């Protein structure tokens, strides 16, 4: 495999774009990150990282000589590989909104040259978008030539909170497109495929890790692989939550149940954690995207729809547990621990806590919320919600009628729960993430299980 450094342009500097930039720079390539957001680019030029992702800042700062940040799309001219890493949020009917992708293609099109350039779609997109990008380039790029300009689908499979490890030590690399373009991409990823790079101190190579599988396929199959993978994981989470609901009725323990079924190698333990359900930018959007694709062909997908319905029910389940104990929310003080959709990220997209805060306020509750890293982002993105920001986790408990654990941050595991419960007006904890391990001198509601053990610190 070729070891020559490539000239890379990355369009979009969000979670996917910054992670991709850090990875490719660490592999030895020259990377230019391009974004229309002037404030974000100025932050990056000052070596300030606009998102929270463990280890990302250190990796970017250790490779500054390989990185350039700009709002100028003419940087595409020097690139041999152009990654599109923009958002594709769901529209009102659930179909992915491609306006940012189309704008990115229109912005890069004037700067394509006569040399070979590979346009890589890393954004999660509907099946057939690769062909759409080709048509757009034919119409918008004066120098477009199908013999030197190729479109590749290279979906990402990163988990926010562990994106660095997922980037450096992936299970697989999926590449969809024509053979010439895929050969080029294998050259770009050669150090990753061979695992010949030096692991960063913040993300050592796992002891038993060898190298990723490389899947070479068509544009359409690569796009489908991304959607199908996320939809299947969403199904696993919703399945665990549906079983958890039945466990509460029959007296079974969901954690013991999922441990038992997860030992079956055909099932596995991952993504069987019952709780408040999934959030974030992927599972809901991608599952709905497949349903929308099926609708275009008059093909119903009831299993995927059920996964979405169960996930929505989990959020209402928390409200129902509160109402069962408190009877009414009017005038009640409710604390929410955790705002990000999962721990180790500040991403608030489709966060379950958003739904809880919104619904509690509608029911007349006074809400106080805390998150270890997402507070500032929430102040910007959730400014329309009615809640108070807590200066620390302890403030969430003060005179509260109930506290909801909405995100399973390790910081919350380490709290002195007995001392904090003593500051509540009514000691009621809705542990929607099954975080607590030992009972408290309080009423504790978990999901699909009852808290067992000896009275003591909840660790």
Q: What is the pLDDT of residue 362?
A: 96
455: pLDDT strictly greater than 70:
no
| Fold topology of 255-459 | Rossmann fold (3.40.50)
In the numeric block, which tokens belong to residue 214? 């490389």
Q: Is 171 marked within a binding site? A: no
* pLDDT bucket at 456, cuts 50 / 70 / 90: very low
Q: Is 331 marked within a binding site? A: no
Average pLDDT, the chain: 93
Q: What is the pLDDT of residue 89?
A: 85
Beta strands across the sheet bearing 172-176: 67-70, 30-34, 7-11, 81-84, 117-121, 149-153, 172-176, 213-217
Q: Is 40 marked within a binding site? A: yes
Q: What is the pLDDT of residue 452?
A: 67
Alpha-carbon separation of residue 122 from 119, 126, 287, 311, 328 (angstroms): 10, 12, 18, 26, 47
Q: What is the pLDDT of residue 95?
A: 77
Average pLDDT over every residue of 184-203: 95
Q: Is 349 marked within a binding site? A: yes
Q: Work out the percent of the chain whose per-residue pLDDT is above 90.
A: 86
In the numeric block, which tokens belong to residue 201? 């101190």
Q: What is the pLDDT of residue 430?
A: 97
Q: What is the pLDDT of residue 91?
A: 80
Q: Is 321 marked within a binding site? A: no
Is 287 within 8 Å of 234 (Cβ atoms)?
yes
* pLDDT bucket at 457, cuts 50 / 70 / 90: very low
Average pLDDT over every residue of 67-72: 97
Q: What is the pLDDT of residue 81?
A: 98
pLDDT in tens, 8-51: 999 999 999 999 999 999 999 999 999 999 999 999 999 999 99
Beta strands across the sheet bearing 402-405: 388-389, 366-370, 333-337, 402-405, 428-431, 443-445
pLDDT in tens, 164-187: 999 999 999 999 999 999 999 999
Average pLDDT over every residue of 68-90: 95
Q: Is 182 marked within a binding site? A: no
Is 377 within 8 Å of 341 (Cβ atoms)?
no
pLDDT in tens, 351-370: 999 999 999 999 999 999 99
211: pLDDT strictly greater than 80:
yes
Q: Does domain 7-217 have CATH number 3.40.50.720?
A: yes
Q: What is the pLDDT of residue 92?
A: 76
**Active site residue ranges:** 282
Q: Is 158 marked within a binding site? A: yes
Average pLDDT over every residue of 78-95: 88
Is 187 within 8 Å of 6 (Cβ atoms)?
yes
Q: What is the pLDDT of residue 124?
A: 82
In the block, residue with structure tokens 């999934």: 278
Q: Is 272 marked within a binding site? A: yes
459: pLDDT strictly greater than 60:
no
Q: Is 3 marked within a binding site? A: no
Please give the model's pTM, rounded to 2 decimal places.
0.89
> Alpha carbon 58 to chain centroid distance?
20
Q: Is 273 marked within a binding site? A: yes
Average pLDDT over every residue of 239-264: 96
Q: What is the pLDDT of residue 160?
A: 84
Q: What is the pLDDT of residue 454?
A: 36
Q: What is the DSSP annotation of 269-331? A: STT---SS---SSSHHHHHHHHHHHHHHTT---HHHHHHHHHHHHHHHHHHHHHHHHHS--TT
> Alpha carbon 157 to chain centroid distance?
9
In the block, residue with structure tokens 């700067």: 111
pLDDT in tens, 299-321: 999 999 999 999 999 999 999 99
* pLDDT bucket at 150, cuts 50 / 70 / 90: very high
Q: In the chain, where are the structural domains located?
A: 7-217, 255-459
255-459 matches 7-217 in CATH topology: yes
94: pLDDT strictly greater than 90:
no
């Amino acid at each position: 495999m070729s070891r020559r450094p490539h000239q890379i342009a990355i369009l979009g500097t969000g979670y996917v774009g910054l992670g991709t930039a850090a990875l490719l720079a660490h592999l030895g390539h020259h990377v230019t990150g391009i974004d229309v957001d002037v404030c974000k680019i100025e932050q990056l030029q000052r070596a300030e990282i606009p998102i929270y992702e463990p280890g990302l800042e250190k990796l970017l700062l250790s490779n500054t000589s390989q990185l350039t940040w700009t709002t100028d799309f003419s940087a595409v001219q020097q690139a041999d590989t152009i990654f599109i890493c923009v958002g594709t949020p769901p529209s009102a009917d659930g179909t992915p909104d491609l306006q940012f992708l189309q704008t990115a293609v229109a912005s890069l099109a004037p700067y394509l040259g006569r040399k070979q350039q590979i346009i890589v779609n890393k954004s999660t997109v509907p099946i057939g978008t690769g062909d759409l990008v080709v048509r757009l380039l034919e119409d918008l790029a004066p120098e477009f030539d199908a013999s030197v300009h190729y479109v590749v689908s290279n979906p990402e499979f990163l988990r926010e909170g562990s994106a660095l490890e997922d980037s450096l030590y992936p299970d697989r690399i999926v590449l969809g497109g024509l053979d010439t373009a895929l050969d080029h991409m294998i050259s770009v990823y050669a150090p990753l495929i061979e695992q010949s790079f030096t692991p960063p101190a913040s993300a050592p190579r796992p002891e038993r890790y060898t190298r990723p599988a490389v899947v070479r396929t068509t544009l359409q199959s690569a796009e489908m692989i991304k959607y199908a993978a996320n939809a299947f994981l969403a199904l696993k989470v919703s399945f665990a939550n549906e079983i958890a609901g039945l466990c509460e009725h029959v007296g079974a323990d969901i954690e013991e149940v999922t441990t038992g079924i997860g030992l079956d190698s055909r099932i596995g333990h991952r993504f069987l954690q019952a709780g408040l359900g999934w959030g974030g930018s992927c599972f809901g959007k991608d599952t709905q995207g497949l349903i929308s694709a099926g609708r275009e062909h008059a093909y119903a997908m009831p299993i995927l729809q059920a996964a979405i319905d169960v996930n929505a029910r989990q959020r209402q389940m928390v409200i129902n547990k509160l109402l069962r104990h408190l009877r009414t929310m009017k005038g009640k003080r409710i604390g929410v621990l955790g705002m990000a959709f999962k721990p180790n990220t500040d991403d608030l997209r489709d966060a379950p806590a958003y739904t809880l805060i919104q619904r509690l306020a509608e029911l007349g509750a006074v809400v106080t919320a805390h998150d270890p890293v997402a507070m500032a982002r929430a102040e910007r993105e959730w400014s329309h919600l009615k809640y108070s920001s807590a200066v620390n986790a302890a403030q969430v408990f003060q005179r509260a009628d109930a506290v909801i654990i909405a995100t399973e941050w390790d910081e919350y595991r380490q709290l002195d729960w007995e001392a904090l419960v003593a500051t509540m007006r009514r000691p009621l904890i809705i542990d929607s993430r099954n975080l607590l391990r030992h009972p408290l001198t309080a009423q504790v509601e978990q999901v699909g299980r009852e808290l067992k053990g000896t009275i003591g610190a909840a660790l």
